[in-house]
Amino acid sequence: MPSNAYVKFHKTARRCDTLVTAYNTLHANGNEAPKDIVRGAVVLAVAALDAYVTDVFVEKLATYLKKHRPGDQLIELLFSAGLDTREALHLLTNKRPYRRIRNLVRTYYATYTTQKFNVIDSVFKVYGLKNLTQNAAQKSGKAHVLTRVENLVERRHEIAHAGDYNQHNRIQDIDPNRIKLWLTALEDLVKGMDEILCLRIPTPAARPARVAAVIAAPIPAAVAHEAEEAEAERDEELAQADEEAEGLAQIFEFVDERMDEELEEDYMDRAVLEEGEFDDA
């Protein structure tokens, strides 16, 4: 079952493909079509990759904490994101503590540009996954996936940072057919990444909706459908809350350990100071 982050990415990838197709259709019919349509597809596609990396990491956090004991890298990440002892104590009275943790991590990664393969791989190392991008490219069974995605990212930088001008201040040409190949490679890469991630950290299935028996007059179809959707949404929220509670318990366990270490260090420091005072006397 794919992640919600992948579903969002796939929708954006379809938008990019539609832009390039629209340009080709206009051009084939003899209309003047600005190639900025294709350049827009390039920028949008790389933005979708960046968003996917952050979205899927945050989405998988609770499920991972439920099934795996977090390692030092993940704990350090949470502390770097702002989950220190004080913040952890505040979470005790927070109605949606896991949402707060998720927002902390999302804000933390908002300062990162997750478009380079080594950066993407480092992000998911905390989930026990190594060389994620390389393994995802191999999983696609296609050659040149990583190279084509690299080309797409580099072209995005030229468009976003220089307006797609070259060193001689001339606009570079852009080949829509080549961009199509690059976009396909990006979809293959992200699809492989998501399959590997979901195998390691499965996407939780929503609880089946409970449908009450009809006793009196039949309920109109539209109203019944809305009620079923609302019930399914509530069940999904309950399932999410269960996972959040278990994930949060793991975090607090490590926070407690960290607090114990801090108290022990403080006690030892005080003992050394007191011993020094007696020696001076």
97-111, 180-194, 265-279: the lowest-pLDDT one: 265-279
The one-letter code for the residue type at 21 is T
What is the reported pLDDT for 23? 95
Burial track 168-197 (b if 16+ CB lie within 10 A, e otherwise): eeeeeebebeebbebbbbbbbbbbbbbbbb
Is 9 within the bounds of a domain?
A: yes
What is the reported pLDDT for 70? 73
Is 255 within the bounds of a domain?
A: no
Is 26 within the bounds of a domain?
A: yes
pTM of this structure? 0.70
Please state, in angstroms and as integers, the Cα–Cα distance from residue 41 to each residue in 47, 160, 192, 215, 272, following that order: 10, 12, 21, 54, 64
Is 273 within the bounds of a domain?
A: no
Q: In whole numbers, what is the pLDDT of the chain averaged over residues?
A: 79
Query: How wide is the angle at C-alpha 17 spanned by C-alphas 30 and 191, nearest 5°?
Result: 160
Number of domains forming the structure of the chain: 1
Other CB atoms within 10 A of residue 112 CB = 14
What mean pLDDT do residues 163-178 have? 94
DSSP 98-141: HHHHHHHHHHHHHTS-TTSHHHHHHHHGGGT--SHHHHHHHHHT
What is the reported pLDDT for 61? 85
Is 183 within the bounds of a domain?
A: yes
Question: Residue 10: which domain range?
Answer: 4-203
Is 106 within the bounds of a domain?
A: yes
Is 71 within the bounds of a domain?
A: yes
Is 75 within the bounds of a domain?
A: yes
